[in-house]
Structure 1
Amino acid sequence: MTLPSGPSSPPIDRIQQNVLAASERKLLNWLCARMPAWVTPDLLTGVGMVGAAAIFAGYAASGLHVGWLWLAIAGYGMQWFGDSMDGSLARFRHIERPSYGYFLDHSCDGLATLLILAGMGASPYIRMDVALVALAGYLLLSIHAYLAARVMGEFKLSYLSAGPTELRLLLIGMTLAMMMLGSKPGYFGAVSGFDLFVGIIAALLVLLFIIQTLSTAKRLNISERKKP
């Protein structure tokens, strides 16, 4: 993904400090060098959205049979491939369209996140209200990233040494646990262990949003007070 900038905006600095960032970049560069010419960034964006739809379908259908969760796991792979490769391929081929790419990429990110968490909520493993709180937390943190890119010139792609790839791996692990443990109520009555897991992630996302908002507001306040 390429970030837009203009005369009234500061240059955008991508901040990516997740654990797998270096290894993932090497893999993406290797894949980009081997992509056939007919594979375009827009096509890859579409692949990512098909992956998100597969995740939704896999979770939503898991009430019929647990085997549908394999579709959700395959969807995570497709979604990672499309979402990670579209911007990488554009940069590799020097065909970036900064404003278009930024708008389309993050619009699709929001829709993909909705599909994933709505699918979880429609499954017998996670309550819909818990899934929607997690969705709200993710979108809040996304809003902060977009605002900070505009006012600070910093686009933060990872928090606490984790980014989207680490989160996908965590969710794949949770999905495998669903297959092994089933959807029976846990030790907390109507709240299952999976509800607690997703709820903790949701709370962490909201907390990170609050902390990052206060930190950015403080930096902006200090910076603008220094101006004559």
Structure 2
Amino acid sequence: MTHQPHQNPASLSRIQQNVLASSERRLLTWLCSRMPSWVTPDILTALGMVGALAIFVGYAASLFSVEWLWIALAGYVLQWFGDSMDGSLARYRHIERPSYGYFIDHSCDGLANFLILAGMGISPFVRLDVALVALVAYLLLSIHAFLSARVLGELKLSYMAAGPTELRLMLIVLTLMMMALGSKPGLFGAISGFDVFVGTVAFILILLFIAQTLVTGKRLAIREKHAR
């Protein structure tokens, strides 16, 4: 087995081309400049996970009352704040721990997305199997991002001009529609409009994984051919 050189997370090129990237960056910088000194990146990471847990509870408890979805909506805001601010604050204060931060951040992202989609699958709005397919699609795209970081030194944070923030906004709108429409019988038997939406997003993510795998594979083949 050939040993490949270790890719230092600090040297990764972050590729973030989502629509809200520049506006969000200005907002995060403004928030960082006003953050109390006792607030640390680790605290913000934990806060983001509390938000993810709130989303899970809100969706799961909507089995009993649609009003619980307000907890999920609040959870999205909290999860965005913690997840977006932890790395931003570390960079703002120049206290980055690249390997630790990379490992903890992406581990928490995986767990947070599991909680969100599991909660959605437990809710009366989205079938569990559809939610789990969406989770697999997310994990496939994550695998591609981590492999690209390893072999190309590029960490891709957005696809099709959309990143985590745009996805959260999409899910917030979906949750508001759940509150407005309720868990009515599906348009196609057991399949609801919410199932169709989540399933379509999952299908798009899987197609992106396949397309990005082909593109990256071609880049690597050309680069290694020229390196001979």
TM range (shorter): over 0.9
Give the TM-score normalised by the residue count of structure 1: 0.96
Q: Supply the distance in 2 between the matched residues of 1:60 and 1:212 (Cα, whole angstroms).
A: 34
Aligned residue in 2 for 1:212: 212
Check conservation: 1:40, 1:86, Cα contact below 8 A: yes
Check conservation: 1:47, 1:78, Cα contact below 8 A: yes
Write out per-residue CA displacement over residues 53-78 of structure 1, whole angstroms, 9 at most, x where no aligned residue: 00000000001000000000000000
Q: Supply the distance in 2 between the matched residues of 1:115 and 1:165 (Cα, whole angstroms).
A: 17
Q: Supply the distance in 2 between the matched residues of 1:189 and 1:95 (Cα, whole angstroms).
A: 54
Q: Supply the distance in 2 between the matched residues of 1:223 and 1:106 (Cα, whole angstroms).
A: 28
Write out per-residue CA displacement over residues 24-81 of structure 1, whole angstroms, 9 at most, x where no aligned residue: 0000000000000000000000000000000000000001000000000000000000
Identity of aligned residues (%): 71
Check conservation: 2:7, 2:153, Cα contact below 8 A: no
Check conservation: 1:148, 1:154, Cα contact below 8 A: yes
Check conservation: 1:10, 1:152, Cα contact below 8 A: no
Q: Supply the distance in 1 between the matched residues of 2:67 and 2:9 (Cα, whole angstroms).
A: 49
Q: Supply the distance in 2 between the matched residues of 1:180 and 1:38 (Cα, whole angstroms).
A: 40
Aligned residue in 2 for 1:31: 31
Check conservation: 1:56, 1:115, Cα contact below 8 A: yes
Q: CA deviation at 1:185?
A: 1.3
Structure 1 SS opposite 2:11: coil
Write out per-residue CA displacement over residues 137-160 of structure 1, whole angstroms, 9 at most, x where no aligned residue: 001001100110110011110000
Where does 1:1-228 land on structure 2 (aligned, <5 Å)?
11-228=11-228
Q: Supply the distance in 1 between the matched residues of 2:172 and 2:203 (Cα, whole angstroms).
A: 20
Runs (5+) with no aligned partner, structure 2: none
Q: Supply the distance in 1 between the matched residues of 2:103 and 2:9 (Cα, whole angstroms).
A: 16
Q: Supply the distance in 2 between the matched residues of 1:84 and 1:100 (Cα, whole angstroms).
A: 16
Letter in 1 for 2:224: E
4+ residue runs over 6 A deviation:
7-10
Q: CA deviation at 1:184?
A: 1.0
Structure 1 SS opposite 2:48: helix
Q: CA deviation at 1:227?
A: 1.1
Write out per-residue CA displacement over residues 160-199 of structure 1, whole angstroms, 9 at most, x where no aligned residue: 0000000000000000000010101132110000000000
Pairs aligned (count): 224
Give the TM-score normalised by the residue count of structure 2: 0.96
Q: Supply the distance in 2 between the matched residues of 1:223 and 1:9 (Cα, whole angstroms).
A: 22
Letter in 2 for 1:117: L
Check conservation: 1:10, 1:153, Cα contact below 8 A: no
How much is the aligned-residue C-alpha RMSD, in angstroms? 1.4
Q: Supply the distance in 2 between the matched residues of 1:149 and 1:208 (Cα, whole angstroms).
A: 17
Check conservation: 2:10, 2:98, Cα contact below 8 A: no
Check conservation: 2:9, 2:99, Cα contact below 8 A: no
Q: Supply the distance in 2 between the matched residues of 1:130 and 1:6 (Cα, whole angstroms).
A: 37
Q: Supply the distance in 2 between the matched residues of 1:103 and 1:128 (Cα, whole angstroms).
A: 29
